[in-house]
Amino acid sequence: MTQPAGNPRTLRSDIVFVFGLCLACYLAWLIRGVLVLLYVSALFAVVLNPVVRTISNIRIGRQQPFKGSAVFLLLLVVAAAFTAFAALALPPVIRDLHGFAQDMPSRLPVLMDKLKRIPFAQSLDISELSSHLQDFVSQAATSVLFSISGWAGELFDIAMGFILTIYFILEGDHAYQWFLSFFPPRRRERLDKTLQRAEIRMGKWLIGQGSLMLILGVASTIVYLSFGVRYAYALGVLTGLLNIIPVLGAAMSIVLALLVAAIDSWGAVVGIAVFYLIYLQVENSILIPRIMRNRVGLPSLAILIALVLGSALAGVVGAMVSVPTAVLVSVLLDEYLVSKEPG
């Protein structure tokens, strides 16, 4: 019997498609760092777009700023915030680090003398321990010098991500329409509406998350200042910023604040621990239900899984974008996979 003429061509096209798909996956794996940077920048642009749109709608007399002016104004606000942070928070940290570096040679013998008074310390070779400690400090300084190139690469990625985010905000509509042009008209309209719903939910998440970050940052700064904790402003800003990372951000800020407070006073450690215990209860029972209700629409387990996956794939940056990514995925799954027909 003669085989249908379409079969060989279909088989060849399937083989070519599979081969092309494997090649595309391999190339994507090779440039995965660039793809992650592009995705994170595009996602930040989507999340920040409602802010830019709100600024663009503000009228000053008869003048209404366009999107470029709104982005510039947003950059000015961010630059002013960083300048204020550098003026208030960084000088005490730099001063203490400089003093520690100057006092290290004189403090080391005192530290060794205190070690000799510890019970059972006589069995230790203090001179050898001092030598090892000095070698460790020297090696740490050397490793810091050698890691400058790595930090330079990280700073370059941050700068490129920042620039790409601005370009996505300014030119994102053209790229979005180009992306939609690959789909047939019916599917294009459905996908467009779905992605618009995802954008609205991600914008609501940004407003809710920003409110929680501001509340925690201000409250923690007041508590740090009241207990006389050093670097209170820096710790307060860092505590608020880390709150953008679910679960892990709060844990890191609590540990860091307790360690810094332990340098000067154990009473401050107890006070800060009590503050965090009370605040976490208030946040989980009052703030999150009131502020984040109907904003994210995801169960806690889904957020936790997204956090684990995001941090495993892209570290801290992946953890930061895990929740908006989970929102995007949930909207797409709800539209295309969840059956809405009555059973």
The partner residues of 60 in beta bridges, in order of sequence, read 63
* 105 CB-contact burial (10 Å; exposed 0-12 / middle 13-18 / buried 19+): exposed
To 10 degrees, what angle do helices 32-56 and 6-30 make? Answer: 80
The tokens of 321 are what?
């974008």
Residue 272's CB is within 10 A of a number of other CB atoms, namely 23
Say which DSSP state 338 is in: S
Q: What are phi and psi of 63, to 5 degrees?
A: -90, 140
Contact by Cβ (8 Å): 207, 302: no
Q: Which residue do the tokens 């008209």 mark?
A: 185
Residue 70's CB is within 10 A of a number of other CB atoms, namely 21
- Taking the chain (343 residues) in runs of 10, the rounded mean pLDDT of each run is 53 80 87 83 82 74 66 80 76 70 63 58 53 55 51 72 85 84 87 88 82 89 89 86 79 87 84 90 78 68 80 77 85 79 52
Identify which of 297, 284, 293 has the alpha carbon closest to the alpha carbon of residue 328: 297
Q: What are phi and psi of 60, to 5 degrees?
A: -115, 95
Q: Which amino acid is at 242?
A: L
Contact by Cβ (8 Å): 253, 311: no
Indicate if the alpha-carbon torsion angle 248, 234, 318, 177 is positive or negative: positive
Identify which of 334, 312, 247, 333 has the alpha carbon closest to the alpha carbon of residue 36: 312
Q: Which residue do the tokens 């403090």 mark?
A: 107
What's the Cα-to-Cα distance from 94 to each of 98, 231, 272, rounded to whole Å? 6, 10, 24
Q: CA 8, CA 129: separation in Å to the nearest integer?
A: 76
Helices (H), the chain: 6-30, 32-56, 67-88, 90-116, 126-146, 148-180, 185-226, 232-242, 248-262, 266-282, 288-291, 300-320, 322-336
Q: CA 254, CA 59: separation in Å to the nearest integer?
A: 42
pTM here? 0.68
Contact by Cβ (8 Å): 239, 229: no
Query: How remote is the C-alpha of 317 from its chain's centroid?
Result: 5
Q: Which residue do the tokens 């009590």 mark?
A: 274
Q: CA 76, CA 159: separation in Å to the nearest integer?
A: 16
The domain spans of the chain are: 10-82+147-182, 89-136, 184-336
Q: CA 335, CA 191: separation in Å to the nearest integer?
A: 9
pLDDT for 220 equals: 92
First to last CA, the chain: 46
For residue 148, the SS3 value is helix
Contacts of 241 (CB under 8 A, 6+ apart): 213, 217
